[in-house]
Amino acid sequence: MDKKLLITIEREYGSGGRIIGKTLSSQLHIPYYDDDILKMASEQSAVGEQFFRMNDEKAGNNMLAKIVGGVRNSLSKPSIGDNITSPDNLFRFQSEVIRGLAEQQSCILIGRCSDFVLASSELADFISVFVYCDLATKIRRVMEVDSVDTKEALNRVQKINRSRRDYYKYYTGEEWSDVMHYDCPVNTTKITLDQAAELISDYIRMRGYEIG
């Protein structure tokens, strides 16, 4: 691979985005970062990992400051003061980890507004992916993977996707599910997750990356 390959994946819960990310990681021989970002942010900030996990992909609670400060509040340096464990500050720590990984190596970054973080850091040469599918497919996949009934699967799909949507809106000011924001939106309703990974690989080649 001649140049660094950075891939960000935003995904609806139940769409298979996480599995697709792992498949691409294996096929492209580049690291995959998901929950690892929380652990690394904890280690670098000396803030307990439980704080990052409690706020993972959840909107902050300072909506007034967000309206006044806009996305600039998301991009500023993290504080080491009294508000060190505030949701906004934890997001800044995570963003520093994401930027650091992208500067060092080719990698796949899952969720956590990674596309926004890279674009806002002038790391424009990356590929942003959004994985989605229809509601029936999301419910079926959650039932299979989580071993729950239809009602619980629907509840998880609605709750988690609402949380991810609000989180993305809060920190970026953009609509999470607007496919116009992404280089490669992939609908997994009528294709397998392996086919979706193959589709993304084809797009990567079209972008001029030499991959096996």
Residue 66 has pLDDT above 70, yes or no: no
The more confidently predicted of residues 62 and 116 is 116
Q: Which of 65-69, 151-155, 188-192 has the lowest mean pLDDT?
A: 65-69
- Beta 6-11 vs 32-33: how paired, if at all? unpaired
Pairing outcome for strands 127-132 and 6-11: parallel
Domain of 51, CATH number, reads 3.40.50.300
Give me the domain span that covers residue 110: 6-200
The mean pLDDT value for 120-147 works out to 93
Cβ contacts of 121 within 8 Å, gap of 6 or more: 99, 102
Q: Let me know if residue 13 belongs to a domain.
A: yes
DSSP 3-state of 59: coil
For residues 172-186, average pLDDT = 94
Note whether 23 and 129 are within 8 A (CB): no
Q: For residue 119, is it within any domain?
A: yes
The contacts of residue 166 (CB under 8 Å, 6+ apart) are: 58, 59
**Looking at residue 71, what is its pLDDT?**
52
- Number of structural domains (the chain) is 1
The reported pTM is 0.90
Report the residue count for the chain.
Answer: 212
- C-alpha dist (Å) from residue 150 to 146, 147, 155, 190: 11, 10, 9, 20
Kindly state whether residue 181 falls inside one of the protein's structural domains. Answer: yes
Mean pLDDT value across residues 100-121? 94
Q: Classify residue 163: in a domain, yes or no.
A: yes
Give me the pLDDT at residue 78, please.
80
Closest CA to 35 of 53, 22, 51, 23: 53
Q: Please report the pLDDT score of residue 65 as a whole number.
A: 47
| Residue 193, number of CB atoms within 10 A of its CB | 19
Give the model confidence (pLDDT) of 44-61 as tens digits.
999 999 999 998 888 876
pLDDT at residue 68, rounded to an integer: 41
Residue 210 lies in a domain: no
pLDDT at 56: 87
Structure-token match 């999470």, residue found: 176
Type and span of the H or E element at 208: none
Spatial distance between the Cα atoms of 151 and 124, rounded to a whole number of angstroms: 41
Residue 208 maps to a domain: no
Task: Quote the CA–CA distance of 144 and 136 in Å, as a whole number.
Answer: 12
Instruction: Please report whether residue 58 resides in a domain.
Output: yes
pLDDT of residue 2: 60
Residue among 186, 177, 188, 180 at smallest CA distance from 204: 186
Task: Please list, in sequence order, all residues whose beta carbon lies within 8 angstroms of the beta carbon of residue 149, skipping any fewer than 6 positions away.
Answer: 143
* Residue 206 domain-assigned (yes or no): no
Share of the chain above pLDDT 90, in %: 76
Span 67-110, pLDDT tens digits:
444 455 556 778 676 678 888 899 999 999 999 999 999 999 99
